[in-house]
Amino acid sequence: MDLPEYYFRVRANGAAVFRIDTENRQRRIEMDQIAVINIRNGEVKPQGQRTLTETDQAAITRWIEDRTALLAQRDMDDIHRAVDYLNLTTQWAQSKATDEQLEDVTDRLLLAMHDLRSVLVRKKADRLTKD
């Protein structure tokens, strides 16, 4: 069985990095934590008195790039889903919602949509004035 050389345990803001070792007498899988990554600021902290090798650094850099791209893709997927939810919400409000249900959500929806519209209009204006 071919295992990767590194394992990244995903955490809220990054990951714990482990080096995988199967070259021991018992042929057990040993995971030695070598670093902690903060993906928000790009900080990589070696564990203990450890010095990361160039191979370690390259694997960590590759993981950060891949993870950042994946998270950006997920963000866009979430936004596209939000557009779908807005459309479904519109259909619900028009065809199924009771007066009580509408009373419960109308103010919060209107404020959220106003806030979103304000940001989108401002950002659109900024993009247009750049060109």
Q: Please give the mean pLDDT across all residues of the chain.
A: 94
Sorted by where each begins, the domain ranges of the chain are: 6-70, 78-130
What's the pLDDT at 22? 79
How confident is the model over 48-93, as pLDDT tens digits? 999 999 999 999 999 999 999 999 999 999 999 999 999 999 999 9
Are 56 and 19 in contact, with CB atoms under 8 Å apart? Answer: yes
